[in-house]
Amino acid sequence: MIHSAHASEDDIPASSGASKEAIAVYQNAGRAFELIERHSTPPDPQAYALWYAYAAGEDERIVERIDTLLANQSALTPFDIETLHQELLLPDAGQAATQTIGGAIEKEIESVLGIIEQSVSSNVSFQASLNDVETKLPIAAAGGGLASLVSRLVSDNRRMIDATKELSQGLSESQKQLATLHKELEEVRNQCMRDPLTAIANRRAFDDRLQEEIDHAIASGGKLCLAMADIDLFKQVNDSFGHQTGDSVLKMFAHCIKGNIKGNDMVARIGGEEFGIILPQTDVVSAYNLLVAIKSELKNAEVPVEGDPTRIARITASFGVARLDAGMTMRELIEQADKYLYEAKKAGRDKVKAQGL
């Protein structure tokens, strides 16, 4: 059994000589154990790491994500813990892969520069040979040494042809290698911006794109709406039918949204069962009508249960919609959409709540 640890500076003996950093670590560890007990979280390393990071409060993303989850449920599920741990605490494999490919590209470019330098050197050498022949040509013609001079010129020309052919092949191979590396780099970047389960954009891509659309809307005076969506009672699906069926529900919901948006619209999985929908050049009424259509389609869909003839029907979701107003930051826009999402949940779920409607 885990006992809560209310850590304070008073708990650390004055004679211990502990630094401020050590005291902070001790306090955060105590808070982490307290949070594990308070929220009945399994005391495994992933959960401890997550709660410690939350207690430390140094990463706003972790605090924000956990606060959002706890606002809708009393505890973090094992799925929540694993998802947050992989997304926010594990080293960024994509970044490491990008650095590896970037290093290979740099080496290949060095190789190309070496080939070009060699080509320039060969051209300079050949030009010097031609200048020498040009200087000696009149003398050779008068003295009968023309055949020797021509033979030398032919030999130098063949040498230049062979060198040019070899350099051309080297450049061609390097060009192919660079094209392959650039393709791999693009694939890694795309994977870093995609949710592996639903194949739609992830939180990182969502944040980048939303800021981009906000900047564009401010500069152009255009419209922009943001919708936050959350599958109702998703925990019950996981508890009753297992995580595989829960994953099927998430994929179906992502497919449903993606099939209804168009143009520059974007849907992203923010985390767990929460999704964000960016709607450029869209007013609140149009956004509201779109989400009502998505909500209706979702409710009429069915999801098969793994290894069971049962099919889950009448799945619902709640939606909150906010528009970008003058002077609003990205964080404020997200908070506004989250506020309306909360109102939709509070109103009985399966609702769309929008700013001004």
Q: What is the pLDDT of residue 68?
A: 85
Among 56, 71, 89, give the residue marking a domain's end: 89
Would 3 be classed as within a structural domain? no
Claim to verify: residue 338 and residue 316 sit in the same structural domain: yes
Residues 228 and 314 in one domain: yes
Domain contains 198: no
In tens, the pLDDT along 44-98 reads 777 778 888 888 888 888 888 888 888 877 778 777 787 787 777 765 545 555 5
Residue 340 lies in a domain: yes
Domain that holds residue 300: 203-354
pLDDT of residue 170: 65
Query: Looking at the domain assignment, is residue 113 inside a domain?
Result: yes
Comparing 245 with 19, the larger pLDDT belongs to 245
Identify the band that residue 131 occupies on the pLDDT scale cut at 50, 70 and 90: low
Question: How high is the pLDDT of residue 13?
Answer: 46
Verify that 181 and 81 share a domain, yes or no.
Answer: no
DSSP-H helix ranges across the chain: 20-38, 45-56, 60-72, 78-84, 93-143, 146-192, 203-220, 234-241, 243-260, 284-300, 330-346
Q: What is the CATH number of the domain that holds 268?
A: 3.30.70.270
Indicate the residue among 132, 160, 192 that finishes a domain.
192
The answer to whether 304 touches 240, Cβ cutoff 8 Å, is: no
Q: How many domains does the chain have?
A: 3
**125 and 137 co-located in one domain:** yes
More confident residue, 29 or 43: 29
Residues 249 and 155 in one domain: no
197 is a domain residue? no
Residue 2 is assigned to a structural domain of this protein: no
For residue 45, the one-letter residue type is P
* Residues 184 and 143 grouped into a single domain: yes
Instruction: Give pTM, 2 decimals.
Output: 0.56
Give the contacts of 210 (CB within 8 A, at least 6 positions apart): 226, 276, 278, 330, 333, 334
Same domain, 272 and 337: yes
Q: What is the pLDDT of residue 80?
A: 78
- Provide the pLDDT confidence category of residue 204 given band limits of 50, 70 and 90: confident
Whole-number pLDDT of residue 308: 78
Asked whether the beta carbons of 317 and 230 are under 8 A apart, the reply is: yes
pLDDT of residue 340 exceeding 60? yes
Mean pLDDT of 100-115: 57
For residue 113, the model assigns a pLDDT of 54
What is the distance, to the nearest Å, from the Cα of residue 76 to the centroid of all Cα atoms in its chain?
Answer: 23
Q: Same domain, yes or no, for 139 and 178?
A: yes
What was the pLDDT predicted at 268?
A: 95
The answer on 257 and 234 residing in a single domain is yes
4 domain residue, yes or no: no
Q: Are residues 145 and 218 in the same domain?
A: no
Among the candidates 192, 212, 246, a domain finishes at 192
Across residues 190-219, what is the average pLDDT?
89
Are 345 and 210 members of one domain? yes
Between CA 169 and CA 335 the distance in angstroms is 58
Check if the beta carbon of residue 230 is closer than 8 Å to that of residue 72.
yes
Residues 172 and 238 placed together within one structural domain of the fold: no
Output 99 or 155, whichever has higher pLDDT.
155
| Residue whose C-alpha is closest to residue 278's, from 332, 215, 331, 214 | 214
Using the predicted structure, report yes or no on whether residue 140 has a pLDDT greater than 90. no
- Tell me the C-alpha distance between 65 and 260, whole Å: 27
Would 70 be classed as within a structural domain?
Answer: yes
